[in-house]
Structure 1
Amino acid sequence: MKILHAASELYPLIKTGGLADVLGSLPFAQKAQGHDVRVILPYYRHVRDVLPDAALVAVRDTFGGSVQIRYADYRGLGLYLIDAPHLYDRPGNPYHNEHYFDYADNVIRFAILGWAAAAVATGLDGLWGRADVLHAHDWQAGLAPAYLNAWNAYIKSVFTIHNIAYQGMFQSKHLGEIGLPWEMFHVDGVEFHGQISFLKAGLFYAGHVTTVSPTYADEITREPAGGGLSGLLDTRRQQGRLSGVLNGVDDAVWNPQTDAALPKPFHPKAMQGKKAGKKALQQFFALNADEKALLTVMVSRLTPQKGADFLLESLHEKLPANPDLQFVLLGSGAPELEQAFVRLAEQYPQQVGVYIGYNEELAHQLVGGGDVILIPSRFEPCGLTQLYGLKYGTLPLVRRTGGLADTVVQTDEVTLKNKTATGFVFDEPTAGALGGALENALSLWRKPRAWPAVRRQAMAQDFGWHKAAESYDACYRSLRG
């Protein structure tokens, strides 16, 4: 099957979040299953630096100016690059400038992504021909199915929501500037509250809609999780055109047996490396060098979505009452939350370590050396850090939402007895509920025979990308009849 993915990020070429991780793994897993898979991506400045010699495929004059489509082989994967320096040759983030203001021409920049994806899918590259399936990801590629519809192109399309909170909203006046007919500016089209929504375009015009976990697929058919689009999504579900496919873990990047960032590798039958990683973290953050302390870690954006606010409240209560509880944070986000965590570390210097910013090597070390990884999100489409935690034997402590609910099994008497427990789960997004889960974790930690058994169960879970690839294969085949 010939599959074309359209997205604005692909790890490690360009990354701001989990979308890049998916595109850096799923196409390769599909290729391993025998499909002819390609990806189309803007030719950002950094991508050009890494792949400077991409071959010219076609040149077109478009509503966004002159655009060249180039092609490169990237680690054995076919990669189409949209070469339009006036749109994409900019420093830093793909979406906004150094002051965090969205680029004023984003409506054109990402309409061109959708246009180019539809053009390649319908045969712009004569050597490849037409795609069997165009798979567009998140709002940035949301117009791709709309262009297929406007052109009456008989190409099957799938649209994946990675986070419905980001909807790609632009003023209606721009519709005439992006090559779509005004008939599409309708409740049964791209219109959403008087504006153009790139996300809604993908939801409405794609043949099938997926999101990144089964529970999130259910949650977004109701408000408030649906972001105002629950009615459309519930209709798509009733049509059999909405499903959830769990993300996976790239074993080449996240594997405690081969991870070069760790002080010492480890695996379920030889866990000395995990002890070494914990000791190294305690030394790095100047915490008490106590192997009997429960080291909880968090790698996250610091936002209310991630539960950072009520986590702070809970830690202020639990740390003084539990001297054997430690907490290490790697993250950045809202300045007031950054400052609050720094103050927490100053208040409890032997129990709390904080690193504001992002460091990929340190992220691996936290996942490898921690005992518990905290993901107390208010909502979470899938989540990846809990999957990394499971793989590294760092038991996830999560709120029961989205992909977190689908991947972590609460530790209690029943799951301990039937050997299915893999972590700690709470329901309400409050400091009290989170504190109860921390007490549960501390209780298990203080039972030295019980903890390793749950850890082994966690490490035995299989969230490889081959599973997601198989699910998408079934989705594509169903769509093609």
Structure 2
Amino acid sequence: MNIVFLTTEAVPFAKTGGLADVCGTLPSEIGRSGNRTAVIMPAFRSIRRAGIPIQSTDISFAVPMSNEKLVGCRLLKSNLPDSDTPVWFIDQPQYFDREFLYGTSLGDYPDNDERFAFFCRAAIMAIARIGWSVDIVHCNDWQSGLVPALMAADPNLPPALQKAASVLTIHNLAYQGHFSREAFAWTGLNWRHFNHNEFEYHNHVNFLKTGIVSSDVITTVSPRYAQEIRTQEHGCGLEGVLDSVSDRVFGITNGIDQEIWNPATDPNLFANYDVDHWQHGKAQNKLAIQKSFGLEESTETPLIGLVGRLASQKGWDSIVPVIRRHMDEDRPTQWIVLGSGDARYERELRELQAAAPNRFALHVGFSDALAHQIEAASDIFLMPSLYEPCGLNQLYSLRYGSVPVVTPTGGLADTVVDATDQSFADGTASGFYIYSNDPDGVDAAIGRSLEMRFHQSGAWSQIVTTGMKSDWSWTASAEKYVQLYAETLALKVSPKRTPPG
């Protein structure tokens, strides 16, 4: 099969979150299974900082954004790292040569509707010019959500796309690309398509809703999340739309690159280790990071790590009071946080660091090397997310022997097994669940994990090794995508067949 991925993020070219990790890895993994893959994304300013050569091409074209506005662009080309998968960049400086991808600290760019409508239309035109006959167009999140509808509505669809099926992956339903009805003009289509079966959503344009109702198949990044987004609690206003297409919604858990995330070979670590020598290796990494941040140096004191966005979704309204409680009551724990985001959380965490510098370490911003070091040094990794489509840090934590304490939601519930009598008996326990996502509930789950670490060393060793032996590589996920692609194509040719899955 020939599969083209449309995305705005792919490591190492552009990243704000997990979308980049998926689209920087999954296309290559699917390509290794005998399929032909490519990525099409905007030529953001960041692509030139990736350290990978970018080639010019002689492919250029113009998109008629309105009767008076013809916008030209050209294609640039590179490859995903260590891969034959080409990456085609749509180079249009007016839209994409900006410091940030979607907006600044003051808010989203006001022309995001125009920018990403252009990307969707230009991506279709690019596919017609790269010399492929495409089987699957795999769209990702709202930024490419218009493409399935444009493919269905365009009577002059390029021959390269006329037999293609569309797949849309929802990485986070909370981000939808919701704009005024005037944004429909950027599609270039007749206004008769502005109806609730296509582009219209409560008299507005919602890019993600349009993709959901138009795609042949919708996937999410974990099976649990595929169920949760059809509920009022997690549906973000689209639960009714998703319920109406529930026979086309499937969940496939993300994987991780287990070559990069491998404690036995990771060049970022102070000491490498494997599942047979984790006690010594993690102790050496803990001592090194304690020294680096001025924490009290002790292998016995449990170190609790957190890496990620400082946002309410991640449970920081519960985390901060728990950290403060541990500091005030002089409990035998240390904490290390890496992240940035909401100014309120940054301020509160800086205050905690100032009050207890030997017990609380903070790095505001992002450091890939430090993220690896925290996973290796931590005894416990805390993720009390209010919702989590998939999550990656819990997978890194399992790999590095940092026991995850998580809310059983979305991908966290699909990948971490709570430590119960039954799960210990069958050898599947790999972490601890937070059953009440408030400060008391988070603290109670941490208490359960600390009780085991201090008083049941054999059980603790079992839970660590179970996590480290688990396989969350992209291989299994890629196989599921390939199967879904094949079934989706078969269904498109024979529409009376049972839906895929």
Aligned to 1:20: 20
Residue pairs, 1:369-380, within 5 angstroms: 369-380=377-388
Q: Which runs of 5+ in 1 are unaligned?
A: none
Whole-angstrom distance in 2 between the partners of 1:422 and 1:232? 35
Query: What is the CA-CA distance between 1:48 and the residue it aligns to?
Result: 4.2
CA contact (8 A) 1:54 1:72 kept: no
Q: Secondary structure at the match of 1:159?
A: strand
Aligned to 1:381: 389
Q: Secondary structure at the match of 2:55?
A: coil
Per-residue CA deviation, residues 170-221 of structure 1 (Å, 9 max, x unaligned), is 1111212331332232222222222111111111111000000000000000
Aligned to 1:144: 147
Whole-angstrom distance in 2 between the partners of 1:285 and 1:48? 33
Whole-angstrom distance in 2 between the partners of 1:16 and 1:322? 36
Determine if the alignment matches structure 1 residue 163 to structure 2 residue 165. Answer: no
Aligned to 1:362: 370
Whole-angstrom distance in 2 between the partners of 1:467 and 1:172? 41
Whole-angstrom distance in 2 between the partners of 1:222 and 1:85? 40
CA contact (8 A) 1:136 1:160 kept: yes
Whole-angstrom distance in 2 between the partners of 1:354 and 1:217? 34
Whole-angstrom distance in 2 between the partners of 1:194 and 1:399? 36
| Counterpart residue type for residue 145 of structure 1 | P
Residue pairs, 1:314-329, within 5 angstroms: 314-321=322-329, 323-329=331-337
Whole-angstrom distance in 1 between the partners of 2:392 and 2:483? 23
> Do the aligned partners of residues 459 and 67 (structure 1) sit closer, same or farther apart at CA in structure 2, a change above 3 Å counting?
same
Whole-angstrom distance in 1 between the partners of 2:243 and 2:230? 5
Residue pairs, 1:454-465, within 5 angstroms: 454-465=463-474
Query: What is the CA-CA distance between 1:100 and the residue it aligns to?
Result: 3.4
Query: What is the CA-CA distance between 1:286 and the residue it aligns to?
Result: 1.5
> Do the aligned partners of residues 362 and 73 (structure 1) sit closer, same or farther apart at CA in structure 2, a change above 3 Å counting?
closer
Whole-angstrom distance in 1 between the partners of 2:119 and 2:382? 36
> Do the aligned partners of residues 285 and 71 (structure 1) sit closer, same or farther apart at CA in structure 2, a change above 3 Å counting?
closer
**TM-score normalised according to structure 1 size:** 0.95
Per-residue CA deviation, residues 340-393 of structure 1 (Å, 9 max, x unaligned), is 112122233322111111111111110111111111100110000000000001
Q: Secondary structure at the match of 1:27?
A: helix
Aligned to 1:33: 33
Q: Secondary structure at the match of 2:309?
A: strand
Query: What is the CA-CA distance between 1:320 and the residue it aligns to?
Result: 4.2
Aligned to 1:69: 75
Question: Which of 83, 100, 122 is the aligned partner of 1:116?
Answer: 122
Q: Secondary structure at the match of 2:340?
A: strand
Residue pairs, 1:207-226, within 5 angstroms: 207-226=216-235
Whole-angstrom distance in 1 between the partners of 2:233 and 2:420? 30
| Counterpart residue type for residue 60 of structure 1 | A
Residue pairs, 1:184-203, within 5 angstroms: 184-203=193-212
CA contact (8 A) 2:135 2:163 kept: no
Whole-angstrom distance in 2 between the partners of 1:476 and 1:74? 21
Question: Which of 423, 432, 435 is the aligned partner of 1:424?
Answer: 432
Question: Which of 97, 102, 119 is the aligned partner of 1:95?
Answer: 102
Per-residue CA deviation, residues 267-310 of structure 1 (Å, 9 max, x unaligned), is 00122222111111111222221111111100011111100111
Aligned to 1:248: 255
CA contact (8 A) 2:225 2:251 kept: yes
| Counterpart residue type for residue 31 of structure 1 | G
Whole-angstrom distance in 2 between the partners of 1:409 and 1:61? 50
Question: Which of 489, 492, 501 is the aligned partner of 1:480?
Answer: 489
Query: What is the CA-CA distance between 1:330 and the residue it aligns to?
Result: 0.7
Whole-angstrom distance in 1 between the partners of 2:170 and 2:79? 27
CA contact (8 A) 2:118 2:186 kept: no
Query: What is the CA-CA distance between 1:112 and the residue it aligns to?
Result: 1.8
Question: Which of 412, 430, 438 is the aligned partner of 2:420?
Answer: 412
| Counterpart residue type for residue 268 of structure 1 | V
Per-residue CA deviation, residues 120-141 of structure 1 (Å, 9 max, x unaligned), is 44x332x32x210000000111
Query: What is the CA-CA distance between 1:321 and the residue it aligns to?
Result: 4.0
Q: Secondary structure at the match of 1:65?
A: strand
Query: What is the CA-CA distance between 1:420 and the residue it aligns to?
Result: 1.1
Aligned to 1:264: 271
CA contact (8 A) 1:412 1:421 kept: yes
Per mean C-alpha deviation after superposition, the further-off stretch among 81-90 and 22-31 is 81-90
Per mean C-alpha deviation after superposition, the further-off stretch among 150-159 and 375-384 is 150-159
Q: Secondary structure at the match of 1:428?
A: coil
Per-residue CA deviation, residues 214-267 of structure 1 (Å, 9 max, x unaligned), is 000000001121111111111211xx2000010001123211112111011110
Per-residue CA deviation, residues 140-192 of structure 1 (Å, 9 max, x unaligned), is 11111111011154420000000000010111112123313322322222222
Q: Secondary structure at the match of 2:40?
A: strand
Q: Secondary structure at the match of 2:107?
A: coil
CA contact (8 A) 1:345 1:354 kept: yes
Whole-angstrom distance in 2 between the partners of 1:101 and 1:168? 13
Whole-angstrom distance in 2 between the partners of 1:84 and 1:323? 55
**TM-score normalised according to structure 2 size:** 0.91
Whole-angstrom distance in 1 between the partners of 2:351 and 2:290? 18
CA contact (8 A) 1:215 1:405 kept: yes
Whole-angstrom distance in 2 between the partners of 1:184 and 1:166? 23
Determine if the alignment matches structure 1 residue 132 to structure 2 residue 135. Answer: yes
Whole-angstrom distance in 1 between the partners of 2:35 and 2:431? 36
Identity within the alignment, %:
34
Aligned residues: 474
CA contact (8 A) 1:16 1:93 kept: no
CA contact (8 A) 1:137 1:159 kept: yes
Whole-angstrom distance in 2 between the partners of 1:132 and 1:258? 38
Per-residue CA deviation, residues 45-102 of structure 1 (Å, 9 max, x unaligned), is 2324644423233423431601223333444211111111221122x211114x4332
CA contact (8 A) 1:159 1:209 kept: yes
